[in-house]
Amino acid sequence: MSLDNPRFVAVLLDWPGTAFLARLALTGPYLLGGIMKLADWPGAVAEQAYFGMQPAALFAAATIAVELVGPVLILADRLAWLGAGMLGMFTLLAAMVANAFWGMDGQDRFMATNAFFEHMGLIGGFVLVAILSPRRRARA
């Protein structure tokens, strides 16, 4: 009994477009978030202020930069480790600020706990990007 992927799965995973589409699925929400914040600067600043980040304009600008530059590096598969690190650290910090379940009760705690650990899953995806990018490029 072989532990390898079935042939159709191997073909799908080896198709070059699959790696790009997976990177796009992982980074798309960040890219969209950065574009939306850029299009609504007052809203981006207000969001930072809501979470207590001061000076709000500086944190909004930094957030936009990370949400745009990180995905571009990952999608271009150049310095993907840097883009993955940027988005992974951003995700960890954002989860700790926005989903601080340890200080909540009831339904709020339940929802924040789920969101927090979903974000940890995204961080795992960014670690995999950093691991796999140089390996994939070496095979190409």
Q: Which two tokens stand for residue 1?
A: 């009994």
User: Measured between alpha carbons, how far is 90 from 70 in angstroms, rounded to an integer?
Assistant: 10
Total of domains in the chain: 1
Q: Is residue 1 part of a domain?
A: no
Q: Is residue 2 part of a domain?
A: no
Helices (H) and strands (E) in the chain, counts: 6, 0
Average pLDDT, the chain: 95
Write out pLDDT tens, residues 79-104: 999 999 999 999 999 999 999 999 99
The boundaries of the domain holding residue 75 are: 7-139
pTM > 0.75: yes or no: yes
What are the strands, taking DSSP E only, across the chain? none
CB 31 within 8 A of CB 18: no
Q: What is the mean pLDDT of residues 15-39?
A: 96
User: Measured between alpha carbons, how far is 68 from 35 in angstroms, rounded to an integer?
Assistant: 7
Write out pLDDT tens, residues 63-72: 999 999 999 9
